[in-house]
Amino acid sequence: MNSQKARQILSNLFSEDSPVPCKITLWDNQEIHFGKGELRFNLKIKDPQTFEAILTQPSMAFGEGYVNGDIEIEGSLPEILEWIYQNRAEEKLHPVQKARICWLHLKRKAGLGDSKRDVQYHYDRGNAFYRLWLDRGMNYSCAFFTTEDQDLDTAQENKIQRSLKKLRLAPGQRLLDIGCGWGSVIIEAAKTYGVRAIGLTLSKQQYELGTKRIMDAGLSDLVEIRLQDYREVSSKEHGSFDRVISIGMFEHVGRENISTFFKKASSLLRDKGIMLLHTIGRTRFEEMDPWLTKYIFPGTYLPCLGEIMEEAQRYGFDFVDLENLRRHYDKTLGHWAKRFEDHLGEIRKHADEKFIRMWRFYLYSSQMAFRYNPLHVFQLLYSLGRRDDWPLVREELYT
């Protein structure tokens, strides 16, 4: 493709009277300007092959181009991504490619081996790495902000407390945390409510650090972390849990295993037991971002709300409450990205520039996706079988 053709295409994708003054520089140094005033950024596309790839698979090609250095940026990456999302550029391209990606995704079914490999690929990058930019409790999921300027540590503590209060915990109850991460939720549940808590993770590094945190807290008699898939929990424990919680794990279940998840969860809960499910999701089906599933979260699937509701009901779960934390995740990702940038010196001791560009692109593109795309964070509350003892006013769930 010659640069003149590329210029025509870009002029159709982006408005010349853009409120953000910027320019795109092509491989032969041709410049396309958008907006008026002092330039906010310059996006350089270094070869025609990268440009052609963007036209057929925008997310994949742009992400790979940035990570590999075929796309250079003068200015702010989040500002460029926001400009692209605001212009809805990807929606104007590749309807055939969208269908192809969707089909490839639907053909993949995650078995036990796939799930373990996928989770370890992401979460076993090293506890030291995650400790640099997560909160002090190492919670790798959406926080809950009660004010616009609240710090991340407080917001993550809010999320844990708010989630546990919804479960209506009492001393002596058994709580199962499916996808417990580094153990913050089960540690707090035992410490505050006196419950006996078991957490499940497939990450060896989460298991090791979480177990140490439990011992350091003096809670080994109440709390246990297992290196185990939820499907591997013994039938001897069926019906033995009063409560089940899962925060930020359901995205790894896979579309074909949604039914499996609810079937297993229902078998583990006692009658009238309560489950809280916290997951990223959508209100309608869309194909997964191919760059994200290739480089960051292999095997992930963001479920539709309807899929969750239908399968939960199939296995006896009665719907109680739903909150949407979309704006909270935008803020959470913003905090993570800032912390990541603040610790680049330490990260560079163990990672090359390609890894840093990959992780930076993941954090900022995810933030913009929650800001502009139909992505949500659902926090659903269920009881196994109908209960009529719920408060009439939601506020009472948190007292």
Q: Tell me the pLDDT tens digit for each residue of 184-231.
A: 999 999 999 999 999 999 999 999 999 999 999 999 999 999 999 999
pLDDT of residue 326: 98
pTM of the model: 0.90
Q: Are 92 and 239 in contact (CB under 8 A)?
A: no
Distance CA(253)–CA(251), nearest Å, equals 6
CATH number for the domain formed by residue range(s) 3-93: 3.30.1050
Distance CA(360)–CA(108), nearest Å, equals 27
Domain locations along the chain: 3-93, 112-398
Distance CA(47)–CA(45), nearest Å, equals 6
Q: Are 51 and 6 in contact (CB under 8 A)?
A: yes
Decide if domain 112-398 falls under CATH 3.40.1390.30.
Answer: no
pLDDT of residue 100: 44
Distance CA(377)–CA(318), nearest Å, equals 20
Q: Tell me the pLDDT tens digit for each residue of 350-366.
A: 889 999 999 999 999 99
Q: Both tokens of residue 222?
A: 């109440």
Helices 326-342 and 353-372 pack at an angle, to 10 degrees, of: 160
Give the residue from 139, 175, 178 showing the smallest Cα distance to 156. 139
Cα first-last separation, the chain: 63
Low-confidence residues in the chain, pLDDT < 70: 89-90, 92-124, 399
